[in-house]
Every structure is written in C-alpha cells, then in structure tokens.
Amino acid sequence: MRDKISQLFCLQKNACKNNSTDCRGDKMCQAKSRVMGQRVPTVPLEQKGPKRQRPTHQGPGGCGRSGIFVSPSGLLVRTGSVGVSFIIWLACGLLSLLGALAYAELGTMNTSSGAEWAYFMDAFGPAPAFLFSWVSTLVLKPSQMAIICLSFAQYAVEAFVSECDPPMSVVKMVALLAIVMILFVNCYSVNLGMAVQNIFTAAKLVSVIIVICGGAWKLIQGNTQHLSSAFNGSTPTFGAIATAFYTGLWAYDGWNNLNYVTEEIKNPSKNLPRSIIIGIPLVTLCYTLINISYLAAMSPTEMIESEAVAVTFGNRILGVMAWLMPLSVTISTFGSANGTLFAAGRLCFAASREGHLLDILSYVHVRRLTPAPGLIFHSLIAAAMVLYGTIDSLIDFFSFTAWIFYGGSMLALIVMRYTKPNYPRPYKVPIIIPIVVLVISLYLVVAPIIDTPRIEYLYACLFILAGLIFYIPFVKMGMTPRFMNKVTLFLQLLLEVVPTSSMAMFE
C-alpha cells in the first residue's frame, strides 16, 4: 500500500511539472491521490485557495518591525550622539525607500513568489538563486523571526518584572511559545494569517500614536534639554556608522516582504509601488517622531540602559495606564513575527518547487492549502536561534548577510536592463536608484570588516559559499539519496500534505 501511495505521489508530481500550463487552462483540473486511505484532491488549480489580495497585510505593517522598540538604544550606543542617530534614522528610511522602489520594478517584471530567489534566477541563473534560498531558508528568515519573538518576549515579561531585569530563561520560553502560536495560525489558514496581520498592524499604530502623543505632551511642557545638545558626544568611526545602519535598518526591514507574495497581490503593477511610496515615508516619519518622543521623556543614558525603551517611556508618561505600552508593543511584535513567517513560507514554497530545496517544503496541506512543511521548517530553526542567540548578535549577523543579497538584487536589476531590455516592465525606476543602493550595500558589507574584523563575518561568508557543496551534487547533478523518498512519504502521511503545480492554490 505504501509503495502504491509513493508511486502515485511521484507520478502526480511529474504530471504537474510537465503539464502545469494545461492544468492552468482547465479550471476543473483536479488530479486525485490517496492520503491515509482517503481519496482527496491534490489541489484544485483554479477553484480553491484565497482570492488575490491588495497588499494591506504587508504594507506599512510589513516594513517596520519591532525595531523601533529595540533599536533606539543600540543605535545611540553606536553613533555616540543624538544628532547622528537622527541622521542615521532618516538615512535608513531613505535607503529602504530607494531599495523598495527598485524591488517594485523587479516584482512587476517577475510576479512569481520568491522575491530575490526569482530575480537571481532571471539575471544570474540557478547557482546564485540556490545560494540565496540556502542562506535565506537556514539563516535570514529564521533569524528575523527569532529577533522579533525575542523582542515580543522581552516586552511581555518586562510588564510583570519592574524591580529587576527579567530572567533570560523566562524570556526565551515566552519567545518559543510565541513561535508555536504563530506557526499554528499560519498552518491553520492563509486567510487567518492575513487577518491576524491586519489586526495586529492596527495595534502597532496604536502603540506608535501613544508614544508620539506622550512625547508631544512632554515637549509642550518644555522638556527639550536632551534635544538642544543633540550633536554633543563622540564621533562614530567608519565602521561604527555601518553597524549603526544595521541597527536602524533592522527597524525598517520588511520593505521587501511584498515581493514574496506578488502572486497574491491584486494588480501588482499598480498596488505594489503605491504601497511602497505611501508606506515607507509614513514609517520614516513615525520613527523620527518616536525618537523625539523618547528623548522628551528620558535622557540618552537612560535610553541606553533600558532593556525595553517603550516600557520605560510608558512608566514615565502614562502613570497607572503604563500597562498599555507593553501590551501594545507585544501585540505589535507578534504581528511582525506573523508577517515574517508568512513571507518565509512562500520563499520556501517557490524555491522547493524548482528543486532548490527539499521537495517536501513545496507541498501544501490537502484541506487548508497552507505550505505547512515550509512553515514548520522555518519555525524549528527560529526556535534554535532563540535558544542560543541574543537580539543584538542576531541583528548584526542578519544585517551583514542580508545586505549581501540586497546588493545582489540591485545588481540583478542593472544586469537585466541590458540583458533583457525589451522585457515588460509595468513599473520602471531611474537606473541611478539601484546603482546608489548597490554602492551603499557594498559599504555596509565591507566597512564593518575593515573597521572591526570579527570571526562572525567570516562564518557568514563561509556559510554562503558552503551552499555550493550541496548545490553541485543535489541540484546540478540531480542526485537524490534513496532514503529521501521514504522520508518524504512519511512526512506526507504525517502532515497530510501533497505536491501542487506552480502556486495554483493562490490563483
């Protein structure tokens, strides 16, 4: 019986690969298979799955993670003065806007899910695309989720511990619990995941409004002493500015999340750039006002010493209602983590269906139509990072690695302007924008290595190159260990997942 099921799944997978165009043309194309003895459709190609959505669930809420509640103190430490930190915040917002506009051109050229992976495939071929999926699946997306869940746990525990720093073991346990909850939401339903994102983005806006209004009240009272001497302090070094950018850019990270779900966006050629142009400047303005509000309520030294800046701010401003601040921040960070896992599952799906990752990671649940294996895989790695990492170390490691590939995407856009000049481009940016972002990304990668060489940077580079060890035999040569068929079949039966053709569940 197990052999028959295995053969049936393999035959069906090959049929999807060979006849995906035909299936797309037939709305009633529903290949049948048996799972656990029951006859079920693998995935109806046009009839099931969520409708295309406008990018509300990943708009301003996708750009702007928990960083504004974590990064201000770290950025002050690395810049040495309030004034320079403000310049870095604004520069990070501008860089994110330029990068997102360039990504909008890439996203409207190639509307398949996968973002950088798809662009590297178009511009450079399968090897660089595999290296991105390798690093993103094992490092970038899980570390994003780990950082956000640690931030969530820090604020959630801080609300109940006022006399001393919260125990790290408790913080990590709460972060692990958050990962499990987010995993359940995204495995249960795509629509539920989007609903959670929309609702929790609204909570983020509430916390931002509380901070800005509280800061405005303090400024009206005349508390401007910490802003009047903004540029007093030490001058940051060449490398320290780059690492300060790491901290600031973490707060803006998520500006490329829409490109992971372009297949699910209604009319992406219009809605994708529109979301970027409206969302990122709004986020930049909010971040600037929040930093002014922090400094109206506390000194730079107090900000640096605070483990949860927003909680300290709430205690100073809100009095008996101070509990509102940690509550709104925890809800906000939970929504950010949800959005991160939502995008990570789509990257896994896109890369796996082309053979760049394990086949099982491209399978979907037979009833809920969610990419459950990819979501579970990312969550397990994120949980390991929560156990063995800290927020600051994970931010540095993530930012250094991420900007290698962000720069690569800018290079891909420039290359395709010359290799594919006649390719349809519903949205087109001036060529100077990707060039500027590429130069800045090179600076962000090289400057920290020159200024303060650390073994972690070498590990990151070696890990990227190590992907070639797996690419050559398993992707290029197509070798597959014999036991993998049994493992795949076991996981299919356990998770009730099956293969599907090119993102048909989202059509």
User: In this predicted model, what pLDDT tens digit does every residue of 290-321 receive, in sequence order?
Assistant: 999 998 988 888 888 877 788 888 888 888 88
- Is 232's pLDDT higher than 50? yes
CA distances from 462 to 186, 446, 459 (A): 32, 15, 5
Mean pLDDT of 436-464: 89
Long-range (24+ apart) CB contacts under 8 A made by 3-7 are: 4/34, 5/33, 5/34, 5/35, 5/489, 5/493, 6/485, 6/489
Is the Cα dihedral 102, 104, 107, 110 positive or negative? negative
Query: For the segment 114-156, what is each residue's pLDDT rounded down to a tens digit?
Result: 678 889 999 999 899 899 888 988 888 899 899 989 988 988 8
Nearest to 82 by CA among 231, 219, 215: 231
pTM: 0.77
**Encoded tokens for 260:** 């992971």
| Cα angle, residue 438 at apex, residues 102 and 136 outer, rounded to 5° | 80
As given in the structure block, the two tokens for residue 166 are: 């919260």
pLDDT in tens, 466-492: 998 989 888 888 888 888 888 888 988
Cα dist from 131 to 106, 378, 424, 486, whole Å: 19, 17, 27, 26
Work out the number of other CB atoms within 10 angstroms of the CB of residue 48. 15
Q: How confident is the model at residue 111 (pLDDT cuts 50, 70, 90)?
A: confident
Q: Which pLDDT belongs to residue 173?
A: 94
How far, in Å, CA of 291 to CA of 43, rounded? 48
- Pairing label, strands 38-41, 497-498: unpaired
| Residue whose structure tokens are 């540095």 | 396
Residue 388: pLDDT over 70: yes
Is 276 exposed, middle or buried (CB count within 10 Å of its CB: 0-12, 13-18, 19+)?
buried
Contact predicate 324/318, CB 8 Å:
yes
The rounded distance, in Å, linking the Cα atoms of 94 and 87 is 11
**Angle at CA 175, nearest 5°, toward 171 and 180?**
150
Alpha-carbon span 403 to 242, nearest angstrom: 11
Greater pLDDT, 49 or 420 = 420
User: Does residue 51 have a pLDDT over 60?
Assistant: no
**Number of DSSP helices (H) and strands (E) in the chain, helices first:** 19, 4
Exposure string of 405-438, with b = 16+ CB inside 10 Å and e = fewer, is bbbbbbbbbbebeeeeeeeebbbebeeebbebbb
Is the dihedral angle over the CA atoms 259, 265, 267, 271 positive or is it negative? negative
- In this predicted structure, the answer to whether residue 383 has a pLDDT above a threshold of 50 is yes
Backbone torsions φ then ψ of 33, nearest 5 degrees: -145, 170
Predicted local confidence at residue 163, as pLDDT: 62
Q: Which of 505, 151, 470 is nearest to 346 (CA)?
A: 505
Report how far residue 6's alpha carbon sits from residue 171's, in angstroms, rounded to the nearest whole number: 43
As given in the structure block, the two tokens for residue 150 are 């640690």
* Average pLDDT for 205-231: 86
Note the pLDDT of residue 48.
40
DSSP 15-30: HHHHHHHHHHH-TT--
What is residue 31's predicted lDDT score, i.e. its pLDDT? Answer: 33
Mean pLDDT of 168-189: 91
CA gap 492, 36 in Å, rounded: 9
CB 234 within 8 A of CB 31: no
Summarize the confidence of residues 35-62 as an average pLDDT: 40
230, 299 contact by CB (below 8 A)? no
| Coil, helix or strand at residue 244 | helix
Rounded distance between C-alpha atoms, residue 66 and residue 340, angstroms: 11
Largest Cα span, the chain: 78
pLDDT of residue 90: 93
Please give the C-alpha separations between residue 141 and each of 181, 233, 264, in angstroms, as whole numbers: 17, 36, 20
How far apart (Å, rounded) are the C-alpha atoms in residues 227 and 81?
Answer: 10
Query: Is 36 a residue whose pLDDT tops 60?
Result: no
Average pLDDT over residues 75-81: 86
| pLDDT over threshold 60, residue 93 | yes
**Contact (Cβ atoms closer than 8 angstroms) between residue 110 and residue 350:** no
Percent of the residues in the chain that have a pLDDT greater than 70, as a whole number: 83
pLDDT at site 444: 92
Tell which wins on pLDDT, 67 or 450: 450
Nearest CA to 5 out of 31, 29, 37 is that of 37
